[in-house]
Amino acid sequence: MSRDQGGNSVGAMEFEQITYRVDEGVATVTLNRPERLNAFTHRMCRELIMACDLAEADHEVRVVVLTGSGRAFCAGADLDPDAGQFDVTDMGAGELIDGAPPDASGIAALRFAAMRKPTIAAINGDAIGVGITMTLPMNIRIASTRARVGFVFTRRALVPEAASSWFLPRIVGIARAVEWVTTARIVLAEEACASGLISHLHPDDACSQSPSPETAFEPTPRSRHKCGAQQEEQRTYCPADGGKPHIRGPIHCPEPIEGCARPH
């Protein structure tokens, strides 16, 4: 059975920048701004969180796959003034930090980190900036042979966002993580795979196709339970915060904001 929710109303949210489809237990979330190379916006962040909530609440969903439409996975944050990436007029006071917009990419990344179901990033093309950092908390990353990744923040005089300074060294090692971030160079798919950032490479465009039940990652009932239990071990509950779940480790403490110490 398959269900599509791209472009349809889901509660108070209507998907405009992603599509959401459930087919044979696989929830496929597709970044859907191909004319902008799927550049990331606050709207996309909110829709990704909604998609995660839908998948987590749906007992038929066994695994969540994130991919992109068109020739790119995600070209990073949309810095076009018309995209409203820095517009706070439609945000509530609770969404702002000292009057500034939050690290939306970090919000999306930590939502993926909090998922109790397996998550797979199917990187069908270039993944730059937030395009790659939001996939770091995911369980598995596969990529097209033509994909490229880039932690290019120093080119913009920015620090790595989305808790990537915590996740990346734990995936590829501290030396390689420092080299990629400080040089801000573009990394080809073969090198990304050899480093362990990518698990498998697939033929051109294969990653952008909806996975079939035969080829999708299909955990058994026991492995699904085990995966959920393992991911639950990475979460902790803070009584002082009303029992809300947090990620265990330095990324849940108040100091790291975009990789910098938050001013007191």
Q: Is the pLDDT of residue 238 over 80?
A: no
The set of residues, in sequence order, having a beta carbon less than 8 Å from that of 59 and lying 6+ positions away, is: none
* CA 165 – CA 137 distance, rounded (Å): 12
Lowest mean pLDDT among 122-131, 157-166, 189-198, 243-252: 243-252
Q: Is the pLDDT of residue 9 over 70?
A: no
Confidence (pLDDT) at 85: 57
Residue 7 sits at the vertex; the CA angle it makes with 95 and 22, to the nearest 5 degrees, is 95
- How large a percentage of the chain has pLDDT more than 70? 64
Q: How many CB atoms neighbour CB 129 within 10 A? A: 28
**Residue 144 within any structural domain of the chain:** yes
**Residue 36 within any structural domain of the chain:** yes
What pLDDT, in 10s, does the model give residues 16-34?
999 999 999 999 999 999 9
Confidence (pLDDT) at 203: 84
Q: What domain count does the chain have?
A: 1
Q: Is the pLDDT of residue 226 over 80?
A: no
Q: Are 23 and 2 in contact (CB under 8 A)?
A: yes
What pLDDT, in 10s, does the model give residues 187-202?
999 999 999 999 999 9
DSSP the chain: -EEE-TTSEETTEE-SSEEEEEETTEEEEEE--GGGTT-B-HHHHHHHHHHHHHHHH-TT--EEEEEESTTEEE-SB---GGGTTT--TTS-GGG-BTTB---HHHHHHHHHHT-SS-EEEEE-SEEETHHHHTTTTSSEEEEETT-EEE--GGGGT----TTHHHHHHHHH-HHHHHHHHHH--EEEHHHHHHHTS-SEEE-TTGGGSPPPTTTS----HHHHHHHHHHHHHTEEEEGGGTTEEEESSGGGSSSEETTEEPP-
**Residue 64 within any structural domain of the chain:** yes
Average pLDDT value for the chain: 78
Domain enclosing residue 64, as ranges: 2-208
Q: How many CA atoms lie less than 13 Å away from 5 in the CB half-sphere? A: 20
Q: Is the pLDDT of residue 147 over 60?
A: yes
Q: How confident is the model at residue 240 (pLDDT cuts 50, 70, 90)?
A: very low
**Residue 237 within any structural domain of the chain:** no
Q: Is the pLDDT of residue 6 over 60?
A: no
What pLDDT, in 10s, does the model give residues 86-138?
555 655 555 666 666 667 888 999 999 999 999 999 999 999 999 999 999 99
User: Quick one: average pLDDT of 221-248?
Assistant: 46
**Residue 203 within any structural domain of the chain:** yes
pTM equals 0.75
Confidence (pLDDT) at 254: 38
Question: Tell me, what CATH number does 155's domain have?
Answer: 3.90.226.10
Confidence (pLDDT) at 90: 58
User: Quick one: average pLDDT of 134-146?
Assistant: 96
**Residue 100 within any structural domain of the chain:** yes
User: Quick one: average pLDDT of 64-74?
Assistant: 96
**Residue 232 within any structural domain of the chain:** no
**Residue 23 within any structural domain of the chain:** yes
Alpha-carbon Rg for the chain, nearest whole angstrom, is: 18
Q: Between 147 and 261, name the one with better pLDDT.
A: 147
